[in-house]
A and B are shown apart, each in its own frame.
Chain A
Amino acid sequence: GAVVSQHPSWVICKSGTSVKIECRSLDFQATTMFWYRQFPKQSLMLMATSNEGSKATYEQGVEKDKFLINHASLTLSTLTVTSAHPEDSSFYICSARDWGSYEQYFGPGTRLTVT
């Protein structure tokens, strides 16, 4: 089956530093990837849609300069949280859409803790 990986699975960083999270489709090509944020015991909130070779489309209220998204290849998208603050602590989940079947597959998530 289609597999999406995320790295790292968890990360702790100090306030003011930047953190990069990778999302990879392991056995299929993904022209579109999605980044979600999930607070404890809450639902997933879409942050942005990432299309290979073009700029990401951010949802209303999401700071594009703070959450930098790069989708440089058909199998890799990255989310960089710049100048992280404690309020950025959250569970970040990506999903990748198979360009052939349009099925969307989710990664296992990355837990970010900013101290």
Chain B
Amino acid sequence: QKEVEQNSGPLSVPEGAIASLNCTYSDRGSQSFFWYRQYSGKSPELIMSIYSNGDKEDGRFTAQLNKASQYVSLLIRDSQPSDSATYLCALRSADRGSTLGRLYFGRGTQLTVWP
């Protein structure tokens, strides 16, 4: 089982602040990491993917990956009320064989950005 752990939250930040979401994983063989945003009753929406150590920035979002410490994080700068959602951390294993390609999800962190 490729365990993915997220800080359970809920996380509440004021508008304009930085929201920090964290995720740790147990399988050192994991190679691909993703952050999905999910509004209540809606489907997961991919917002970031990261494959190598370091930072990856896309607009107000920055993903950070540290494979040695087995964690991946998502920073949301200048948080907006529309960012209020559940954020799911997901990874893909490098296993060859039957688990190839399967996405393993964390339980999600609920973020609320208040005006």
Are A and B co-members of a single complex? Answer: no
